[in-house]
Chain A
Amino acid sequence: MPPVETMKAERVPSSASDEALVRAAQQGDTAAFEELVARHRDKLYARAYSMMRNEEDAIDLSQEAWVKGWQRLKQFQGESSFATWMTRITINLCLDAIRKQKRQRAESIEAMDEESGGVERQMPVVAVNPTEGLERSELRARIDEALGKLSYAHRTVLVLHEFEEMEYKLIAKTMGCSIGTVMSRLFYARRKLAALLDDLKNAKDR
Chain B
Amino acid sequence: MDFDKQLKLQAYLDGELPEGERRAVESSLAQDAEAAALLAEFRHTNAALGTFESELKLPESREFFWSKIERELRRQEVVPRRETQLSWLWWVGWRRFLVPVGAVAALALLLVSLRTNHPGGGTGSGIVATFADDKAFTYRDQTQGTTLVWLSYAADDKSKEGASEEAIQD
Q: Do A and B come from one complex?
A: yes
Q: Decide: A50 and B53 in contact? CB cutoff 8 A.
A: yes
Q: Decide: B37 and A190 in contact? CB cutoff 8 A.
A: no
Please measure, in the bound complex, the distance between the C-alpha atom of A191 and the C-alpha atom of B45, giving whole angstroms: 9
- Given A158-B49, A187-B7, A194:B44 Cβ within 8 A: yes
User: Is A41 an interface residue, CB under 8 A from the partner?
Assistant: yes
User: Is B87 an interface residue, CB under 8 A from the partner?
Assistant: no
- What 1/0 flags go to A132-143 for Cβ under 8 Å of B? 100010011011
User: Is B66 an interface residue, CB under 8 A from the partner?
Assistant: yes
Query: Inside 8 A of A66's CB, which chain B residues have their CB?
Result: 69
Q: Decide: A125 and B41 in contact? CB cutoff 8 A.
A: yes
Query: Inside 8 A of B70's CB, which chain A residues have their CB?
Result: 7, 30, 34
Q: Decide: B51 and A140 in contact? CB cutoff 8 A.
A: yes
Q: Decide: A139 and B60 in contact? CB cutoff 8 A.
A: no
Q: Decide: B10 and A126 in contact? CB cutoff 8 A.
A: no
Q: Decide: B49 and A162 in contact? CB cutoff 8 A.
A: yes
Q: Which residue of B lies closest to A198 (CB)?
A: B41
Please measure, in the bound complex, the distance between the C-alpha atom of A125 and the C-alpha atom of B33, giving whole angstroms: 11
- What 1/0 flags go to A120-138 for Cβ under 8 Å of B? 0100011101111000100
User: Is B42 an interface residue, CB under 8 A from the partner?
Assistant: yes
Among B72-80, B105-113, B120-128, B154-162, the stretch in contact with A:
B72-80
Q: Which residue of A lies closest to B60 (CB)?
A: A59
Q: Decide: B56 and A49 in contact? CB cutoff 8 A.
A: yes
Q: Which residue of B lies closest to A49 (CB)?
A: B56
Task: Number of B interface residues at 8 Å Cβ cutoff, please give it.
Answer: 41
User: Is A46 an interface residue, CB under 8 A from the partner?
Assistant: yes
Query: Inside 8 A of B40's CB, which chain A residues have their CB?
Result: 125, 127
- What 1/0 flags go to B40-70 for Cβ under 8 Å of A? 1110111111111111111110100110111
Q: In the complex, what's the smallest C-beta–C-beta distance from A181 to chain B, in angstroms?
A: 11
Chain B residues 111 to 136 lying within 8 A of chain A, measured CB to CB, are none
Q: Decide: B62 and A38 in contact? CB cutoff 8 A.
A: yes
Q: Of B34, B47, B49, B58, which contacts A42 at CB under 8 A? A: B58
Q: Decide: B56 and A46 in contact? CB cutoff 8 A.
A: yes
Please measure, in the bound complex, the distance between the C-alpha atom of A62 and the C-alpha atom of B74, giving whole angstroms: 18
Query: Inside 8 A of B44's CB, which chain A residues have their CB?
Result: 126, 129-132, 194
Q: Decide: B16 and A63 in contact? CB cutoff 8 A.
A: no
User: Is B38 an interface residue, CB under 8 A from the partner?
Assistant: yes
Query: Inside 8 A of B74's CB, which chain A residues have their CB?
Result: 4, 7
Chain A residues 148 to 192 lying within 8 A of chain B, measured CB to CB, are 158, 161-163, 167-168, 183-184, 186-187, 190-191
Chain A residues within 8 Å of B, Cβ to Cβ: 1, 3-4, 7, 30, 34, 37-38, 41-42, 45-47, 49-50, 55, 59, 62-63, 66-67, 70-71, 121, 125-127, 129-132, 136, 139-140, 142-144, 147, 158, 161-163, 167-168, 183-184, 186-187, 190-191, 193-194, 197
Query: Assuming A70-B69, A183-B10, what are 20 further A-B pairs, CB within 8 angstroms?
Result: A30-B70, A38-B66, A41-B62, A42-B57, A45-B56, A46-B53, A46-B56, A50-B52, A59-B59, A125-B34, A125-B37, A127-B37, A163-B49, A163-B52, A184-B7, A186-B10, A187-B6, A190-B45, A190-B46, A194-B41
8 sample A-B contacts, Cβ–Cβ < 8 Å, listed by A number: A30-B70, A62-B58, A67-B73, A121-B3, A130-B48, A139-B51, A187-B7, A193-B45
